[in-house]
A and B are shown apart, each in its own frame.
Chain A
Amino acid sequence: MAAIIDSVLLTLIEKICVIVVAAYLITRTRSFSEILDGRLTAKNQAVMVLIFGAFSVFGTVSGVEVFGVIANVRDLGPVIGGLVGGPVVGLGASLIGGGYRFLQGGFTGLACSIATILAGSLAGLVYILNRRRFVGVVGAVILSVLFESLHMLLVLLIAEPWQEALIVVRGTAAPMIASNSVGAFIFAMMITNLIRERETAEERDKYFLELEKKKMELNIAREIQQSFLPDTVPQLKGFDLAAASHPAKEVGGDFYDFIPQSDGKMGLVIADVSGKSVPAALFMVLSRATVKASAAGDKTAEEVAKSANDLIAADAKSGMFVTLFYAILDQETRTLRYVNAGHNPPLVLNGKTGDLTLLKTRGIAMGVMEDAEMEEREIELAEGDVVVFYTDGVTEAVDDGLDQFGAERLFETVKKNCHLSAADLVKEITGAVLAFSKGEPQFDDITLMVLKGGKME
């Protein structure tokens, strides 16, 4: 008896292996995917009814005879169909499977077919009650056990003669409950994996789309920024000038500019717009154009700063501002008249003494308030003096431990390399900052402008 049950169980499990392959193929069909997405159409429900119905028939055909009764996994198809696709699929598939069983006859024929139809319909009901979602692995296994027990109960209640029905149930109950629940377990595992896979894929697609969008935005911002930086540096009389901007991954809206004036004067601008990406790049364009327009005509640095500030403040929304340093270099008198609108103070290295001075004035970032006071100051530049204009991307560049490059390192780098030409000094400082940050992604653009006093002519 035990040997028979064992061999029955073994054979049933063998069949289940076949079913696993079938299950794999079924779960990969388009109709099944649509149903998993909750998109039930007449067509995909019909396809699932046919597939799970055929599956149920296969369960009957592949059954193993025990005491003249077929122990089988007929209920598995309709149950899974109902749990995944709802009452229509569950009932439809069970009608096919149960109908086929009924035609096979035998004294348990009626009971078995009713049991299958009941199992498929109840599974469909569970789907509805579970808010049209698959119940999961544990749910499917528990329901399988319940449905098979119900199956056995129905055979006992309906099949005649009762004595024979009891023998059948004794022999088939354990293997049928076991094989159907194992089948449900495998099926449910496959379905939940599929659901998870699809969710992950969806999230991944969304993530990549976001990333693409972000990348495109960054490219646009970088292009805007770079296209509004001067292509060439003007040749000056008795001065050496160079500048460069190294945009951060997330463009910060730094800019520099040269604005030629009459009588051998040259306007020099370095600025840093608050914010990042496209908004910063656009604000940079606005600020640059405003300063350029304000600098037209023979105005003092203070007048330029004040009028540019009023125009920018009128336009600045949501706290946008730009820190800006504007200087007018007089190549004849070798003086630099400057205003500092909230910008990192440029440093001046005295070529003879090696002393450092910071170009601070009383001012406030542009766009913050109208009618802001902008103090103007003046320095003279001798041969060998070096002025380094920079943005906070230089001093606030960080290494992997979030230590900042800092003003001290900048001073040291400038001191050590003050014999270099302006262009080489820009390269040297940029190199030192990048070497310090060792490839750490930088939060801000690194922008530098160097003005060096040359021989008097």
Chain B
Amino acid sequence: MKIDNKSSGDVEIILPVGRLDAPSSEELMKRMEGLIDGGCRKIVANFSGVDYISSSGLRVMLASLKRLRKAGGDLKLARLHPYVRETFEIAGFTQLFEIYDREEEALGEFGRQDLPSR
């Protein structure tokens, strides 16, 4: 699986391309763990290139989300294909993840959260 990533400020944007099945999920897991171990706390997963996600893929996203939230960060999703969104919906994961239509919205949300709230 091809996995690109780029940075926007302190947010890492990860762009997996292809089917997110058991073998490619392992690759993605390594990338996510690498980012989080490297101190990254804000990740946007742009799923515009993902046309299928298996339960292994969901697990990677869940594991990463749990780690990030525990460390005070977050993982936001953007540009889900209808089929992939349905998989998230069936598992109930849409209650858990913030999902955006556009990558910029997810980035903007991270930016908004950074503003002092008090």
Contact = CB atoms under 8 A, between A and B. Distances in A.
A443 B91 contact: no
Contact of A364 (B60, B64, B66, B96): B96
A396 B54 contact: yes
A25 B62 CA distance: 61
A252 B22 CA distance: 10
B59 interface: yes
Q: How large is the interface on B (under 10, 10 to 19, 20 to 34, 35 or more residues)?
A: 20 to 34
A392 B53 CA distance: 11
B95 to A, nearest CB: 6
B5 interface: no
Nearest to A248: B22
A376 interface: no
Contact of B21 (A321, A344, A365, A443): A443
Residue with the greatest number of chain A CB neighbours at <10 A, chosen from B55, B63, B93: B55
A443 B22 contact: yes
Interface string B45-62: 000000010111011111
B93 A342 contact: yes
Contact of B93 (A252, A276, A318, A365): A365
Contacts of A161: none
A342 B56 contact: no
A444 interface: yes
A319 B91 contact: no
A444 B54 contact: yes
A305 to B, nearest CB: 12
Contacts of A362: 92
Contact of A341 (B22, B59, B62, B92): B92
A345 interface: yes
Contact of B96 (A320, A323, A368): A368
A272 B19 CA distance: 20
B115 interface: no
Contacts, number: 64
A156 B33 CA distance: 70
Given A392-B54, A443-B54, A344 B90 contact: yes
Interface residues on A, range: 20 to 34
Contacts of B58: 274, 321, 365
A252 B93 CA distance: 20
A250 interface: yes
A276 B56 contact: yes
Interface in B52-100: 52, 54-56, 58-64, 66, 90-93, 95-96
- The main secondary structure of chain B at its interface with chain A is helix
Nearest to B65: A319
Interface string A13-47: 00000000000000000000000000000000000
A368 B77 CA distance: 17
Contacts of B54: 392, 396, 443-444
A331 B54 CA distance: 35
A275 interface: yes
Contacts of B61: 319
Nearest to A366: B92
B93 A364 contact: yes
A452 B91 CA distance: 26
A275 B56 contact: yes
A369 B96 contact: yes
Contact of A323 (B52, B66, B91): B91
22 contacts: A252-B55, A319-B60, A319-B61, A319-B63, A319-B64, A321-B62, A321-B91, A323-B90, A342-B91, A342-B93, A344-B90, A363-B92, A364-B92, A364-B95, A365-B58, A365-B91, A365-B93, A369-B96, A372-B92, A392-B55, A443-B22, A443-B54
Given A250-B22, A319-B60, A319-B61, 17 more contacts: A252-B55, A272-B55, A274-B55, A275-B55, A275-B56, A319-B59, A319-B62, A320-B59, A323-B90, A323-B91, A342-B90, A342-B91, A362-B92, A364-B96, A365-B58, A396-B52, A443-B22
